[in-house]
Amino acid sequence: MKFRKVINGLRLFAFYSMLVVVSLSIFSCGNSDDKTNKKEKKITKEPEFLYGICIDSMDVEIDTIKRNQFLSDIMLKKDINYNVIAHIEKNHRKVFDIRKIKPGQRHTFLISRDSIPTPVFWVYEINRTDYAVFSLTDSLTAWLGHKEVETRIEYAEGVIESSLWEAMTSKGYDPYLTLKLSDIYAWTVDFFGIQPGDTFKVVYENKYLKEDNSCIGIGNVLASYLKNSGEGHYAYYFEQNGKGEFFDENGANLRKAFLKAPLNYRRISSTFSHARKHPVTKVVRPHHGVDYAAPTGTPVVTIADGTVIEKGWDKKGGGNYLKVKHNSTYTTTYMHLNGFAKGIQKGSKVKQGDLIGYVGSTGMSTGPHLDFRLCKNGTYINPLTFESPSAEPVKEENIAAFEEVLTIRNEELGMRN
């Protein structure tokens, strides 16, 4: 009996001893891990970069270019040698011509924290995304850099009460979206015919700087829906043959052979007519054009690709005028111009939307306007009722891919086929 008690006592002692050892091991391991983690935290501290340069051992001084300030003014304040300034001005023009620095643009000195602080780099921000870095020591090198940009897909919608511009800005959307939509629908929608109650929906790209999450502008519009006077107009961005264009839901190209109008006008002061009483001569005669009333100096663009075949003064009352031949079928004439765009001459090749002149009141005119005329096979036709032919539609071999894009964009617009 005593022997059995002794054995049981030994077993209990061994069991408790083992518990103590295990406990010590566990706590010991835990303490060791804590110490290791603390060391790892110190070791794995991420270095800080600015403009692609590690600035852990540098001070950063940010400023903006002042009016009438030159590179020498900026550098001499930092006691930078004249030779360094001259080197930057002469040898790095291919990187960035320092003579083109602009007031208001940000620039930065990166300064070493040595016993004597020394400017090591100078950075000039060309725009929101691009910058030029100039080394101020050693090899005096220079290079261009680009900030990281993130593209996000965003959505805008609204009801138009007075204008598309007002509808955009009242909801905090970038008003540049209005210009984007004006370009997309230039061939199909008269934006001066926008009415209260019309609606819009847009899926588009917005670009942000990763460094501070600030918005730097709009990318592509990916899809849009504009309801104007009860009629819905769809637009889908699709790339084929390496070129992105806008198509409707049936794959027809929204870009036409001709623009809807050659300018942004305030009103149509006179329409196409075979018998109109002239406002100056009071004589009834044909008016084979459309008069677009607009302020003097309003830009006038060509409605299609072509060649300038006439430029000069119309003795019959048209004042300064241009005539553009677009192909073997169509020509357009632009009259009463205040002046011509720089470089426009007889024989000049022009692209659709190119600036060719400015609204004026030259010749026989009662006020500033553009008399615009469209001729088909030698006969004047009414520009307001003319149906322009479309550009190339989605090709047969690309229809399946286009329909996939259509499905995705319609979901984003909140619509279904």
The C-alpha torsion from 388 through 238 and 244 to 130, rounded to 10°, is: 140
Best mean pLDDT range from 98-112, 242-256, 361-375: 98-112
What is the assigned CATH class of domain 49-146?
Answer: alpha beta
% of the chain residues with pLDDT over 70:
82
Could you give the C-alpha distances from 118 to 80, 83, 109, 110, 122, in angstroms and in order? 9, 16, 10, 9, 11
Residue 143 vs residue 115, higher pLDDT: 143
Interatomic CA distance for residues 238 and 402, integer angstroms? 7
Instruction: Name beta bridge partners: 122.
Output: 109, 134
Q: Report whether pLDDT(27) > 70.
A: no
Would you report the helix, strand and coil content of the chain in percent, each value rounded to 5? 25, 40, 40
| pLDDT, tens digit, 9 for 90 and up, residues 130-169 | 999 999 998 899 999 999 999 999 999 999 998 888 999 9
pLDDT on residue 7: 45
| pLDDT, tens digit, 9 for 90 and up, residues 34-61 | 555 555 555 567 899 999 999 999 999 9
pLDDT on residue 329: 82
For the chain, give the number of residues: 417
Interatomic CA distance for residues 122 and 115, integer angstroms? 20
Classified as helix, coil or strand, 234 is: strand
Q: Using 50, 70 and 90 to split pLDDT, how confident is the model at 288? A: low
Q: Using 50, 70 and 90 to split pLDDT, how confident is the model at 20? A: very low
Q: Using 50, 70 and 90 to split pLDDT, how confident is the model at 28? A: very low
- Mean pLDDT, residues 261-281 taken together: 58
- Mean pLDDT, residues 239-260 taken together: 89
Q: Report whether pLDDT(284) > 60.
A: no
pLDDT on residue 120: 95
pLDDT on residue 37: 53
Instruction: Name beta bridge partners: 174.
Output: none
> Residues spanned by CATH 2.70.70.10 within the chain?
267-381
124 Cβ contact partners less than 8 Å away, ≥ 6 residues apart? 96, 98, 101, 105, 107, 131, 132, 134
pLDDT on residue 323: 95
> Residues spanned by CATH 3.10.450.350 within the chain?
49-146, 150-247
pLDDT on residue 308: 96
Just give the CATH number of 150-247. Answer: 3.10.450.350
Q: Report whether pLDDT(274) > 60.
A: no
Residue 97 is given by DSSP the state: -
Tokens 């002469």 identify what position?
90
Q: Are 218 and 205 in contact (CB under 8 A)?
A: yes
Residue 292 vs residue 268, higher pLDDT: 292
What is the assigned CATH class of domain 267-381?
Answer: mainly beta
Q: Report whether pLDDT(255) > 90.
A: no
| pLDDT, tens digit, 9 for 90 and up, residues 304-323 | 989 999 999 998 889 999 99
